[in-house]
Structure 1
Amino acid sequence: MNAAVLQKTNAAVTMPGPCPVITTERLVLRPHKLSDAPAIAESLGDFKVSRMLARVPQPYDRQDALDWLVPQASGLLPDWMLAITTGDDIHVGVVGLEQRHGGWRLGYWLNRLYWGRGYMTEAVAGTLERFFRRMPEVRIYSGAFADNLASLNVQKKLGFRIIDANQIFSISQNRMVPHIETMLLPEDFRPADRP
């Protein structure tokens, strides 16, 4: 087998395919579009949201959102970055799986006005369920800042286990922050635990 064919074969085995549209009980998760920029800027401009994320600057504005959206909306990235909507196509958050450091990493955030309703557990469960159908043997890594108990509870409900504790730099907080690292094996995934 020549190198080009081998490379294509390996890519098909290690990539999940294009970012899908996923419908759950209360949500529609879809690929991003450039018109999501104002909603993203509004959500991530809220320090209570951005302080929980390692790679989001403060202040955060529409141009920051566009800078992130352009590669996402191109459809050329292998990552799954899904816009969370409540069915009215209004962007209220993100759930994503991206290849980082040789593995798949889960990340997510939600506009603060939608906290406490079980939306994130539902969005993450729906995304992982579809991802595991395409990539059944893949481990998923994630984590959260140690004081983000809501995020750690989402992961625990779905079967993630703690594998490490460390400190990482938070751009929005401009300091090192205690962080809990987690991992999900496909056989430990509990999709039935969503609301």
Structure 2
Amino acid sequence: MHLFLTSFFVGFLVLSNIISVKLFDLWGLAILPAAAIVYVFTYPITDVIGEVYGKKAAQQTVKAGFIVQIFASIFILIAIYLPPAPFFADQDAFSAILGGSFRVIIASLTAYIVSQFLDVYIFHRLRSKHGSSKLWLRNNASTILSQLVDTTVFITVAFYGTMPTSALLALIATQYIFKVFVAIIDTPLVYFLVKKTKAAAKKEAETTSISA
């Protein structure tokens, strides 16, 4: 089950980087990157892994995601610069969609590594204080605080100097509000996944014990 969750985590990360170039209008309330609808679910996954398998397992998942993102960026860059076939007419579109800018890539990786490790740290500080109770508190507190850092770091590093400060702050605020909303409503999902993961982990342990 740990491998299954880590696979989803890494898959969501790579997917969010690919679709981040698309901006969508959220009912006229905010303009958000399409990545927002995917990336927000990486935090509950690390919370579930940390709750069931421990802090070290959650940190390893974060590290794995960081390494995969770097390799994905390298291979995408290689794919962009491979000479196109004579009949391939979409090279410019391919480069525009997948290329991104070096500054945005750095912003994404920086925000990711800082916020995800902060999420794991806050989650386990609260768990050491409350034990196995109050999962809702550590799930929401860790996610909401780390998402603030993620949003602020990414938008600041990626766009500072390219737009007025007021627009920059508005972008941070609208994206953060959306992420907080998702964090709150996904709490039942975290409880469900923790229950299922604990059951799977127990079954795996029993199977291993019998095999031994």
- Higher normalized contact order (CA 8 Å, seq sep 6+, divided by chain length): 2
Return the TM-score normalized by structure 2. 0.26
Higher helix share: 2
Instruction: Say which one has the larger Rg.
Output: 2
